[in-house]
């Protein structure tokens, strides 16, 4: 049984959706995790793509967008205004995780995200 409590916190608040950005912190997966989830909420005018990256190396990190040939991406557009992403289990053994957001020209509005990590 795990002695670690789940992490459940606001991760991004009022991020400008018109400019590219990288997640505010690299997630360290050196401890075992049962799941890592993000819930994103964005304004109607936000249009772009969030891509997750993993690295086994650290200092310097070597970021890869695929783990076992499996990408994790989220498209933000006007067809919805929120979504939950749960990393596939093969990503949870990578070591370190981050994501990058790239807007489409004309994207406008704010992005919020919460993270929930559940240790084993």
The answer to the question of residue 11 being in a domain is: yes
CATH assignment at residue 47: 2.60.120.680
Domain that holds residue 95: 7-119
Proportion of the chain in helix, strand, coil states, percent, rounded to 5: 5, 55, 40
Location of structure tokens 């993000």:
38
pLDDT digits (tens, 9 = 90+) for 100-118: 999 999 999 999 999 988 8
pLDDT digits (tens, 9 = 90+) for 27-66: 887 778 888 999 999 999 999 999 999 998 888 999 999 8
The answer to the question of residue 108 being in a domain is: yes
Does the pTM of the predicted model rise above 0.85? yes
């Amino acid at each position: 049984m795990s002695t670690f409590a789940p992490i459940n916190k606001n991760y991004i608040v009022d991020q400008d959706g018109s400019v590219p950005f990288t997640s505010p912190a690299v997630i360290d997966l050196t401890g075992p995790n049962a799941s890592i989830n993000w819930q994103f909420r964005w304004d109607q005018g936000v249009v772009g793509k969030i891509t997750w990256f993993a690295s086994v190396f650290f200092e310097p990190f070597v970021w890869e967008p695929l783990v076992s040939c499996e990408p994790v991406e989220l498209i933000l557009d006007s067809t919805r205004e929120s979504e939950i992403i749960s990393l596939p289990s093969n990503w949870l053994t990578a070591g370190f995780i981050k994501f990058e957001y790239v807007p489409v020209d004309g994207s406008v509005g704010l992005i919020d995200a919460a993270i929930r990590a559940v240790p084993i």
